Structure 1
């Protein structure tokens, strides 16, 4: 819980001291040109244009990593694991390379909250020594660096969820997911940046600053697992653990052009997590893997399941990981538009092209028009999140001002016991109705947008209508990159330009105004802004029913092979 004794006038000093402490852990030999350092950019009114937008060249040109280390961090995770298992790579050289890359990424993008390189290297040395002594690896993840979202506890390390009131919260035990990963031989080496309280799709807080997108630092990295997606995109972590209650693994993956997975509740242990919001008893949060490939997602899911986490965390289901392989054409539903927020034309174009490739490969693609149900799911989820009128977060802040991008209830959004009970049963009925419609079409999976836009400017992210309903409905959902915004997308479609902005409501009277369809449409209609998005990654979402996680990732792999050849 937040520290009740925090002096309200001291939060700025404590935040500055904590950030300086983290940065001091970067060795002098791993520091970059100060002119390239990422600004804090906490204030929403700051000028985001006064910075070099793309700085990915620094990794190779800084001289901090040797050529062998550069090759290592650019190696796909399947090959990396194979080389660690065979002894072609040692744990120390692998962890060293990723610690260096993470140090660079932290300076360029503010993607981390805690750096514990010495601790990680000490574990790597022990793994190498044990292997020399026994002739055996410590497990299938032997020596593999894994990053961890700053929500889950690591013994002796802070967990802050972006709040100054949590700066004294030091883990007394390892979270269950950490125990599982380390028992398989993994090396946890950094904690990744998050939004204040986790409840935002833009990863910024008063302690660690604003997480910035490696594709363009003036654009959002998404949230709440923004730091994890940045580490993946910047070749600074081979695989990592995020979490997802409204799109928090998938949205950052979409913004940064990486892969992220929201599994079923109970497939990855939750024990040892921290939070300060409401609604998790109705919209179930999950931990999820994040990586540069679907192979990375499958690797973590399979490795964690192999540890039988249900013996540690009673919320886990006793369900081993069983890979799925298809021997028949699939029936894929496609949702082009959820009826709430129209996707930008490049998103629509990407979906149509993906559908065509699926059909050319012999699969059946069926339009999935259930926008009315997604609207209901979206509103129910927000009602659950805002049930306390923002009281829980306000209490946790201890004088620290809430940032404008944080989604929280306000006076007027409270629910009483009868309303909560009613919405609980409404959500249950919606899940039943949704599954019945799914089963009637005998769908194997659905594909749809993750968000209605590519990476937008900081503070302009405005759409969780494509991600959040799946959390309320309790479906598996994965994000995968599929191309990018292209020059051919820039010509304005007459129908998109002439269609009036839609209006949709998000709950009870009294809520602060939320960004939505009108703002989203205005972004694409601005010619200069439209042109500036060329080259940004596009992503789609693959969805399957609860506890069909293996099928979901198998469909991602199938589409990956068709589209990302």
Structure 2
């Protein structure tokens, strides 16, 4: 069919990709139109929470498989042949199809390939009497950036559509070698720089908790898949917070490891080759429904990562047993509370949840909580990070958009700029300042005695993921609370704590104090009742971020598990009432 003269090249490409994506959903998996939310989302229609819809259309067995297993219990059931990989993957693929119809979270449904692999795994187990690998039958979804052989890694760019990958990304190969099954690839923002997963090719991914609010980015589709219980492990990437932010917005767990723990290569090329090694390296990370699911999978991935990724260190995932020994005088875990980063004031619900978690942890005999002053290095890190990741001038991305005449999505229109590529001397100066800030930041973790000897002072810090609650669509504002820890190469994770209730909103009370920066201006608008109806935040998740020093990834997961256990136990015994 001839393309109308007025139609830009990206339009028919997007139309074709969406039709092909829709054709991957079997007709008997189509859900009744009565279950579909209203579009566009309007405040008067409410949040339109769709988390409960899948169990209304899935069979009892499919609901049980997708809702009542952890990673370890599901893998045990498959290995003991209590349930087949084919039934497991069929259930998760069906649920992913339902989730997609409700939220638009998928780019490449891989249901057919997943079903074939599940059959292979069942045959292998029957023939050999042993599983293919320690993740035999585990349903996994991956961010669209990761190459899967024979499938596009378009990242929502028309210029990269219909250019299927010739081989798998190393992390995909690693997962497959352990027996995992990739059920789908998931949606991302245009340019991967937005905090709201929308692009011209696939459209916008919607938050399943509150359709008025963002699903986050850039691993937004992964956050939704995990929240909808459509895969047990989601694989994303994180440079500015792209694992931890979707975890926050969708109320799940996110884990950004240190550099070199998981293979990062084999992804869509959006900046010149080698550029990230010159500026700041993003990392692959995991999203899950439980902290211990992350630990289980990392325990299998990390010891083998160096066999697959040239960017990975040789090493083991230390299985820390028993009571975790901390920096306290009696071995307590010492957790510092980092509040404001010096650039953005914490809005009341964020200040409150941080204080609540600190108070709960402080009551535990094995935990000591201390307040930590804002390090000046943390305040400066955001602006330096912005300069480092912008060193490529966005030239390649600009060329990709121009080649298909793609317009910028609304959030990017005032933010995307093409500039000259930075010079080597400029990059060297930025990296030199980065090293100075890294050294300054290092000081928060230790203390020095009168003889100049250093001893560990903090085991971890808790801080916000963002200074504001989960914002409305296209209104996510502040990155400094997440991107800085990529620059410092600190492992960091997101833990959902509880939902926003009405007393968190302080209706009618303006935010006190003066703005700290231009970034703070935008964040404060999210609390200004002339700019937002604060009731939009009701029912959205409140989370905290946990951070540890470089390469202490195992310790981070253990501390996340401890915090999660202590906080959950507290709320179970002291039900929070609005």
State if a TM-score over 0.5 links the two structures.
yes
Change (3 A) 1:423 1:39: farther
Q: Distance in 1 between matches of 2:517 and 2:479?
A: 15
Task: Spell out the pairing of 1:66-85 with structure 2 (5 A cutoff).
Answer: 66-75=59-68, 76-85=70-79
Matched position secondary structure for 1:498: coil
Task: Spell out the pairing of 1:37-56 with structure 2 (5 A cutoff).
Answer: 37=36, 53-56=48-51
Q: Distance in 1 between matches of 2:97 and 2:44?
A: 24
Matched, 1:222 2:216: yes
Number of corresponding residues? 540
Task: Spell out the pairing of 1:238-249 with structure 2 (5 A cutoff).
Answer: 238-249=232-243
Q: Distance in 1 between matches of 2:144 and 2:44?
A: 28
Q: Distance in 2 between matches of 1:8 and 1:262?
A: 41
Residue 309 of structure 1: how far off its partner (Å): 2.3
Which of 333, 336, 348 is the equivalent residue of 2:336? Answer: 333
Tell me if structure 2 keeps the 8 A contact 1:254–1:454: no
Deviates more, 1:194-203 or 1:390-399: 390-399
Residue 258 of structure 1: how far off its partner (Å): 0.1
Aligned to 2:289: 292
Matched, 1:265 2:259: yes
Q: Which runs of 5+ in 2 are unaligned?
A: 1-5, 326-330, 448-455, 570-578
Q: Distance in 2 between matches of 1:157 and 1:39?
A: 31
Deviations 1:320-346 (A, max 9, x none): 111234043111111121121112211
Change (3 A) 1:23 1:450: same
Deviations 1:71-127 (A, max 9, x none): 110023232122122221110000000000000011110111001111100110111
Aligned to 2:429: 422
Task: Spell out the pairing of 1:345-364 with structure 2 (5 A cutoff).
Answer: 345-362=348-365, 363-364=367-368
Aligned to 2:521: 518
Aligned to 1:200: 194
Task: Spell out the pairing of 1:97-496 with structure 2 (5 A cutoff).
Answer: 97-277=91-271, 280-281=276-277, 282-306=279-303, 308-325=304-321, 326-327=324-325, 328-362=331-365, 363-397=367-401, 398=403, 399-406=405-412, 410=417, 415-440=422-447, 442-491=457-506
Q: Distance in 2 between matches of 1:338 and 1:371?
A: 8
Deviations 1:250-307 (A, max 9, x none): 000000000011101111011211231476222111000110001121122112124x
Residue 404 of structure 1: how far off its partner (Å): 3.5
Deviates more, 1:278-287 or 1:203-212: 278-287
Aligned to 1:532: 536
Tell me if structure 2 keeps the 8 A contact 1:161–1:275: no
Change (3 A) 1:428 1:146: same
Q: Distance in 2 between matches of 1:37 and 1:414?
A: 46
Aligned to 1:26: 25
Q: Distance in 2 between matches of 1:455 and 1:124?
A: 37
Q: Which runs of 4+ in 1 moved over 4 A?
A: 35-41, 46-52, 411-414
Matched position secondary structure for 1:435: helix
Residue 369 of structure 1: how far off its partner (Å): 1.7
Tell me if structure 1 keeps the 8 A contact 2:148–2:167: yes
Aligned to 1:59: 54
Task: Spell out the pairing of 1:490-505 with structure 2 (5 A cutoff).
Answer: 490-491=505-506, 497-504=511-518
Residue 231 of structure 1: how far off its partner (Å): 0.4
Residue 530 of structure 1: how far off its partner (Å): 1.5
Matched position secondary structure for 1:499: coil
Residue 50 of structure 1: how far off its partner (Å): 6.5
Tell me if structure 2 keeps the 8 A contact 1:387–1:409: no
Change (3 A) 1:361 1:50: closer
Matched position secondary structure for 1:358: helix
Change (3 A) 1:115 1:412: closer
Instruction: Please give the root-mean-square deviation of Cα atoms over the aligned residues, in Å.
Output: 2.2
Tell me if structure 2 keeps the 8 A contact 1:40–1:208: no
Tell me if structure 2 keeps the 8 A contact 1:156–1:170: yes
Deviations 1:18-58 (A, max 9, x none): 011101110000001235546897xxxx9686687222332
Q: Distance in 1 between matches of 2:418 and 2:238?
A: 26
Tell me if structure 1 keeps the 8 A contact 2:375–2:441: no
Q: Distance in 2 between matches of 1:93 and 1:180?
A: 23
Tell me if structure 2 keeps the 8 A contact 1:386–1:410: no
Tell me if structure 2 keeps the 8 A contact 1:484–1:538: yes
Residue 552 of structure 1: how far off its partner (Å): 0.5
TM score, norm. by length of structure 2: 0.89
Aligned to 1:13: 12
Residue 529 of structure 1: how far off its partner (Å): 2.0
Deviations 1:125-155 (A, max 9, x none): 1110111111111111111111011011111
Matched position secondary structure for 1:426: helix
Tell me if structure 2 keeps the 8 A contact 1:8–1:400: no
Change (3 A) 1:39 1:287: farther
Matched position secondary structure for 1:355: helix
Q: Distance in 2 between matches of 1:213 and 1:129?
A: 38
Q: Distance in 2 between matches of 1:147 and 1:452?
A: 29
Matched, 1:86 2:93: no
Deviates more, 1:346-355 or 1:101-110: 346-355
Tell me if structure 1 keeps the 8 A contact 2:339–2:374: no
Q: Distance in 2 between matches of 1:157 and 1:427?
A: 38
Deviations 1:389-410 (A, max 9, x none): 3322111211212223249653
Tell me if structure 2 keeps the 8 A contact 1:332–1:366: yes
Q: Distance in 2 between matches of 1:321 and 1:550?
A: 7
TM score, norm. by length of structure 1: 0.91
Residue 436 of structure 1: how far off its partner (Å): 2.8
Aligned to 1:547: 551
